[in-house]
Structure 1
Amino acid sequence: MTSLLRLSGLTAITLTAALSMTAGLAIAGDNNVSADQIVNALQPKPVTRGLSAGPQVDPAVKDKEASFIQTLRNRKTRSLSLGEREEVAQIASTKPNIDLDIQFDYNSAQIRKASMPAAEELGKALSNASLKGSTFVVAGHTDAIGSEAYNQDLSERRADTIKRFLVDKYGINGTDLVTVGYGKDKPKDPNAPMDPINRRVQVVNMDTKTASR
């Protein structure tokens, strides 16, 4: 009986340790994304040719998307209308993207010191030769605390901060970065709109070119 109790205790300790390690890895994975992971997430998905290929995008639709995206280059974040922001979101939903946990100081567009590594990895990723020539949307999102107007303004200022950081520190072409703010309108977790998980920066590769093989 004593041996069985010891074995049960050992099993419980081992299980607890395993769960603790798993939780640690999950947290590390969320907060310490690497440049390679960002590059992989933003790579256009290859199109396979033949009977196994999925539905193909109408070339006319691709041309329309490309023309619209072209009109956004060099635009100021606050100049985008609600209709344009929604069109960006609709196109972005079909493109390679990644959500980054880049946090800002309270009521501020200043990047928190703890989030600088994630911002730096983003800069390294967008400097990668494999993503050269792409147009990226940098979208700011907030949680649902506060008014709609307040959060809209805050999300726009934060998106602009990321753009300035990428241009100033990594020499990314500013015309390749389209900034947009969505305030609290598009939470990552609609069931918990006030959760901090909704405070994020989303980066989308809007390039209409598709890799083929």
Structure 2
Amino acid sequence: MKYIRILGLLACTLAPAVSLAQSDKVLRADEINERALVDLLAPEKAARPKTRSINVIRDESSLAPAKPAAANLLIIFETNSAGLTPTGKQSLDVVGRALNSEKLVPFSFAIEGHTDPRGGDEYNRQLSQSRAESVVGYLSQNHQIERSRLKPVGKGPSQLLNPARPEAPENRRVTIRRLDN
């Protein structure tokens, strides 16, 4: 019984490291809200393990590195274009308010554009870069977010979330990734 208790305590101690990993869920326009974005992109505070009779010292180097804080968003663009649709702009208005929140103002972010594989690699790399730049421009112009905090990155079709369905909407997304300077 003692051993089960100690193993349970160890599992609770390691849980914060596991919870840092972000899911690959793509937030659609109706799911994007400030609180969810702040929760996904803000650094988690390390929780101190609660123990009565043991102190757990863990070797951080033995743990798998956590994925950087990120949010996958389905931002709607005009077909084969970097032009934002009204729905895309509404989603980015929520993103802009979140990035201007007290918890996120100190950080910089990569704005990654992703595409599906239709149209060829070079075309999609350029389209994804243009879309990332369009998002940065919109956030900078409409929400006064300093451009130095936002780094546009075109990923093209190199990181499909749904490789079984390459043309799936979740493969055409914008990922906002916190950069830990």
Q: Higher relative contact order at CA 8 Å, sep ≥6: structure 1 or structure 2? A: 1
Out of 139, 156, 177, the residue aligned to residue 183 of structure 1 is 156
1:137–1:179 Cα contact (<8 Å) kept = yes
Out of 117, 139, 155, the residue aligned to residue 90 of structure 2 is 117
How many percent of aligned residue pairs carry the same amino acid? 27
Out of 165, 168, 179, the residue aligned to residue 195 of structure 1 is 168
Aligned to 2:128: 155
CA RMSD of aligned residues (A): 2.2
Partners of 1:174 and 1:154 in 2: CA distance: 20
Aligned to 1:4: none
Aligned to 1:43: 42
Cα shift readout 1:110-147 (whole Å, capped 9, x = no counterpart): 01122221111000100101111201010000011110
Which segments of 5 or more consecutive residues in structure 1 lack a partner in the other structure?
A: 1-28, 59-90, 209-213
1:46 Cα deviation (Å)?
A: 2.0
Out of 156, 167, 191, the residue aligned to residue 140 of structure 2 is 167
Structure having the higher strand fraction is 2
Partners of 1:117 and 1:111 in 2: CA distance: 10
1:207 Cα deviation (Å)?
A: 2.2
Task: Indicate yes or no: 2:29 matched with 1:31.
Answer: yes
Closer, same or farther: CA 191–164 of 1 in aligned 2, 3 Å? same
1:63-212 alignment runs, 5 A limit: 94-208=67-181
> What amino acid maps onto 1:45 in structure 2?
E
Partners of 1:55 and 1:117 in 2: CA distance: 44
TM-score between the two structures when normalised by the length of structure 2: 0.74
Partners of 2:127 and 2:143 in 1: CA distance: 24
1:57 Cα deviation (Å)?
A: 6.1
Q: Which has the larger radius of gyration?
A: 1
> Secondary structure of 1:189's partner?
coil
Structure having the higher helix fraction is 1
Closer, same or farther: CA 130–149 of 1 in aligned 2, 3 Å? same
2:29–2:87 Cα contact (<8 Å) kept = no
1:30 Cα deviation (Å)?
A: 2.8
Partners of 1:54 and 1:141 in 2: CA distance: 37
Partners of 2:58 and 2:164 in 1: CA distance: 32
